[in-house]
Amino acid sequence: MYEIVLQDFDMEKIMDSGQVFRIRKMEDASFLTLAGHRAVRIRQEENRILFSCSRDEFLGFWQDYFDLSTDYAAIRRSVDPADAYLNAAVSHGRGIRILRQELWETILSFLISQNNNISRIQNSLEALCARYGDKLDPEGIFPPSCTPAPLYAFPTPEALCSAGPEGLQGLGLGYRDKYIWKMAQRCCGPSGKEWLGTLSSCGYEQAMDLLLREYGIGRKVADCICLFSLHHVDAFPVDTHIRQILDGHYPEGFPFSRYRGYAGILQQYLFYYKRAAQGRV
DNA sequence: CTACAGGCTGGTG
DNA sequence: CACCAGCCTGTA
């Protein structure tokens, strides 16, 4: 157990902000968060947040994963007072953070996300993990009395490669299966690790350039990978919802220049606000 | 039952 | 260049 006290952190909103697909709300209102080969259960009471892990694991992984050292209040305060819509969005979305998710996992997640709905994305990812991911040790995550369903790590590229293309059938991937297969091969072995390493260390422009060459990755998916994994917070993914917001509320264009360097964080508030307004959350 | 999902590819004009 | 049909299939 490790406890922190923190403003601008809301697990419910983070879960529903569309950037992550492996957080589940449990019956006791705690949040089971799976990332790579790790799992943690998080309980939140106002500004008190309890992690079901050791101090070392919190400091060594989850603190960075949840981007806890960024001052989101300052970002919200920077919004143009004259922009009523954006002010409403950041106010409504207080507590959202841009996670720093593992690259390979994020690439696959957003390949699957295209032209797809959230619950189906979650189901596909869970099925993929159950079939090819290692079983995780639930020790310390759940109370000893309860026997939860098994937890699975995110599969490695190598696990998918050795499964072969037919090993991706029956996961609800639809036509995206061939994108996943190609990407697994891309990320396998030393050359794959080198490619992932280059992506991780280069800037936004070069990352986009590299990603857009890949089969099944267009601008929207590439921007999501840049924002939600590589933390290029100037990336501003434009999906159908954001498109409608831009057309409806910013006919003169969104003031990117005012928010240079972190517009992607505002995108996330806008996205959450619109989905909430539509009752999807 | 139909329409739609956090788009992309590949072909056409 | 711009445009857009077609794509898999679970959910609403």
Query: What pLDDT, on a 0 to 100 scale, did the predictor assign at position A189?
Result: 96
The least confident of A174-183, A215-224, A244-253 is A244-253
A193 is catalytic: no
Q: Which nucleotide is nearest to A123 (CA to C1')?
A: C10
Contacts of A27 (CB under 8 A, 6+ apart): none
Q: List the A113 CA – B6 C1' distance (angstroms).
A: 7
Q: Separation of CA A214 and C1' B1 in angstroms?
A: 38
Note the pLDDT of residue A101. Answer: 97
To the nearest whole percent, how much of chain A has pLDDT over 70?
A: 99
| Cβ-proximal residues to A258 (8 Å cutoff; 6+ apart), any chain | A80
* pLDDT score at A277: 82
pLDDT at A132 over 90: yes
Positions in chain B where some atom is under 7 Å from a protein CB: 4-9
Interval A130-135 mean pLDDT: 96
Within 166-185 of chain A, which residues have Cβ less than 7 Å from strand C?
Answer: 172, 174-176
Residue A148 has pLDDT above 90, yes or no: no
Closest-CA residue to A106 (of A2, A222, A26, A238): A222
> Residue A240, CB, less than 7 Å from strand C?
no
> From the candidates A25, A193, A220, A274, which is the catalytic residue?
A220
pLDDT at site A250: 93
Residue A239: which of A33, A53, A18, A26 has the closest Cα?
Answer: A18
A2 neighbors A51 (Cβ within 8 angstroms): yes
In this complex, the nucleotide whose C1' atom is nearest to the CA atom of residue A120 is: C10
Backbone angles phi, psi at A135, to 5 degrees: -75, 135
In the predicted model, what is the mean pLDDT of chain A? 95
pLDDT at A280: 64
Split at pLDDT 50, 70, 90, the class of A142 is confident
pLDDT > 90? residue A147: no
**Max Cα-Cα span within chain A:** 58
pLDDT tens digits, A39-58: 999 999 999 999 999 999 99
Rounded to 10 deg, the angle between the A189-201 and A103-113 helix axes is: 90
pLDDT in tens, A60-92: 999 999 999 999 999 999 999 999 999 999 999
**Residue A140 confidence (pLDDT) above 90:** no
In this prediction the pTM is 0.97
A256 is near strand B: CB distance < 7 Å: no
Q: Burial letters for A120-140: b for 16+ Cβ neighbours within 10 Å, e otherwise?
A: ebbebbbebbebbbeebebee
Question: Could you give the CA distance from residue A159 to residue A192 in angstroms, rounded to a whole number?
Answer: 13
* Nucleotide C8 C1' to residue A209 CA (A): 28
Q: Residue A176 CA to nucleotide C9 C1', Å?
A: 11
Distances (CA, A) of A121 to A107, A148, A154, A230: 13, 22, 14, 21
Residues 143-202 of chain A within 7 A of strand B, judged by CB, are 175
Distance (Å) from CA A154 to C1' C12? 29
Residue A251 scores a pLDDT above 70: yes
Q: What pLDDT score was predicted for residue A219?
A: 94
The Cα A101–Cα A91 span in angstroms is 25
